[in-house]
Structure 1
Amino acid sequence: MIKERLAELVEESSDGALTAQEALRATVPLTALGLTSVGQMRLIDAIESEFGVEVDLTEDGLELLDDLDLLAGRLSSR
């Protein structure tokens, strides 16, 4: 359920350039599929608002934004 919600947030954050279904099926980083840096920033804001967490803005934290499985796993372990 978390992964599906994150995929919806990816679609919203990318203004539809990357659909939720594309994000769910991704086998490559989301940035390779078209999630821009602006989209990443919007996604960070959405995740922080929805899940009440702070997204780490270091390189490691930003890498999580490219992989919904890793991101969902991190959020579910909090």
Structure 2
Amino acid sequence: MIRERLAALVAESSDGAISAHEALTATVPLTALGLTSIGQLRLADAIETEFGVTVDLTGDGLDLLDDLDRLAGHLAGR
């Protein structure tokens, strides 16, 4: 459930450049699919709003935003 919601947020944050299906089935980082730095900021904001979790945009935080599975695991552990 978390992965699917995150995939939808990726699609919204990328203004449709990445579909939810593409995010779910990606074998490369989301930035390789076209998630821009602006898209990452939008995604971080959306995650904070949706899940009530602050996303650290330094260090590992940006790495998390580039990998849907890692991000879902991180959120599931909270």
**TM-score bracket, shorter-length normalisation:** over 0.9
1:41-62 deviation per Cα after TM superposition (whole angstroms, max 9, x unaligned): 0000000000001001112111
Partner of 2:64: 64
What is the CA–CA distance in structure 2 between the aligned matches of 1:4 and 1:75, rounded to whole Å? Answer: 13
Distance 2:57 2:67 in 1: 15
Offset, 1:27:
0.4
Q: Secondary structure of 1:55's match? A: coil
TM-score (norm 2): 0.98
Structure 2 Cα separation of the partners of residues 24 and 60 of structure 1 = 21
Post-superposition, which runs of at least 4 consecutive aligned residues in structure 1 deviate over 4 A? none
RMSD value, Cα: 0.5
For residue 32 of structure 2, what is the aligned residue in structure 1?
Answer: 32
- Give the count of matched residue pairs: 78
Identical columns (%): 77
Amino acid at match of 1:24: L
Equivalents in 2 of 1:39, 1:16: separation in Å? 10
Runs (5+) with no aligned partner, structure 1 = none
